[in-house]
Amino acid sequence: MGSVPSVIAVLEGFATITVLIAVGMLLAHLGIIDLAGQRALSLLAFYVASPALLITVLEDADIGEVLSRTLVASAAGVLVTAVVYVVVARFVLKRDLAHTVVGSLCAAYVNAGNLGLPIAAYVLGDAAYVAPVLLMQLLILQPLALTVMDVAVADVRPSWLKIVSRPVRTPLTVGSLLGLFLAATDIELPRPVHDPLELLAAMAVPSMLLAYGVYLRLGPRPSLANGPELALITSLKLVLQPLVAWAVGRFVLDLDGTALLAVTVLSALPTAQNVFVHATRYDRGITLARDVVFLTTVLSVPAVTLIAALLA
């Protein structure tokens, strides 16, 4: 695998999402979509398009990938990064629970979907490399975070039954489980069901990126108001997480070659736009999520390119 094709593929992946974000900013600037429309786009992605996307993507997934060594290395990077942020946020920065959840997602939740998939396909040579981290985030990290958010923002403390059942009541989790069920059973959905799902799924990434672009244009301007926290999260996301994933993969799990490259590159991806969608959904940490997504997306270009050049 040469370094030049890898660099080009990485830049192409970032160019794709940048164009869609720019379109969202343009639509907001022209007055075509306002903040109310931005929220509608985010909710559409959360409740409809993203679950449909997960069904159509995971229905052909290799279940064995979930138990692979790359999953362990990726999970180690996520766990260490999230724990470091939570400790600092709660005991040093004195953040509340809801803010801490959003911040931990900002620090550890990678853009495995709309950026990880093309990078896995064109840089690593196989889109299956992104499956472990994608499934871990969708089936464990995201449901856990959303469950805690439900508890944190509720006016009345929810019952234990509601808390325990929260993961299976999250649209994204339901979509993931349905997709995995189809993959495990080799069941093929009839075309009258599958084709509409694919049409809905096609809206997921564009609606998330457009919503982010609209908010970037109409929301509060990016600033250094949360400078120390922003710097902390960015460092955790782009330095600590890939470093831990690489170290665990290399020295604990004995990964090498493309597998080690995959673990490191995917861990260095920027914070996913999903985090901004969740922040909007719960009306917590919206500005922080927006600024982190913006900053890590810009800075991850040289970070991922450098990793690809060093390990390819």
Q: What is the CATH number of the domain that holds 274?
A: 1.20.1530
Higher-confidence residue: 235 or 43?
Answer: 235
Q: Evaluate whether 212 touches 26 at the Cβ level (below 8 Å).
A: no
Q: What are phi and psi of 254, to 5 degrees?
A: 60, 40
**Who's near 2: CB < 8 A, 6+ residues apart?**
312
What is the per-residue pLDDT for 7?
Answer: 67
Asked if the structure places residue 109 within a domain, the reply is yes
The first and second tokens of residue 306, run together, are 């450098």
End-to-end C-alpha distance for the chain, whole angstroms: 6
What is the per-residue pLDDT for 155?
Answer: 67
Collapse the DSSP code of 124 into the 3-class scheme (helix H, G, I; strand E, B; otherwise coil) and give the result: coil
Residue 112: closest CA among 74, 66, 79? 74
Asked if the structure places residue 34 within a domain, the reply is yes
What is the per-residue pLDDT for 3?
Answer: 44
Asked if the structure places residue 195 within a domain, the reply is no
Asked if the structure places residue 53 within a domain, the reply is no
Residue 104: closest CA among 71, 79, 125? 79
- This prediction has a pTM of 0.79
Asked if the structure places residue 286 within a domain, the reply is yes
Mean pLDDT of 254-271: 91
pLDDT, tens digit (0-9, with 9 covering 90-100), for 189-232? 999 999 999 999 989 888 988 988 898 888 777 666 678 999 99
Asked if the structure places residue 82 within a domain, the reply is yes
Asked if the structure places residue 164 within a domain, the reply is no
Residue 109: closest CA among 247, 293, 306? 293
- Count structural domains, the chain: 1
Own/partner pairs for 175-178, CB < 8 Å, 24+ apart?
A: 175/50, 175/51, 175/52, 175/53, 175/54, 175/55, 175/58, 176/54, 176/58, 176/135, 176/138, 176/139, 177/139, 178/54, 178/55
pLDDT, tens digit (0-9, with 9 covering 90-100), for 159-187? 677 666 766 777 877 888 898 899 889 99
pLDDT, tens digit (0-9, with 9 covering 90-100), for 24-56? 999 999 999 999 999 899 889 889 998 898 898
Which pLDDT band holds residue 4 (cuts at 50, 70, 90)? Answer: very low
In a 10 Å sphere around its CB, with 0-12 CB exposed, 13-18 middle and 19+ buried, how is residue 202 labelled? middle
Distance CA 35, CA 131 (A): 34
Q: Is the pLDDT of residue 1 over 90?
A: no
What is the widest separation between alpha-carbon atoms in the chain?
56
Among the residue ranges 108-122, 242-256, 296-310, the one predicted with the least confidence is 108-122
The first and second tokens of residue 2, run together, are 């040469």
Q: Which domain holds residue 222?
A: 3-44+64-159+205-311
Asked if the structure places residue 284 within a domain, the reply is yes
Residue 265: closest CA among 144, 115, 137? 115
Per DSSP, the residues of 140-196 read IIHHHHHHHHHHHH-SSPPPHHHHHHHHHHSHHHHHHHHHHHHHHHT----HHHHHH
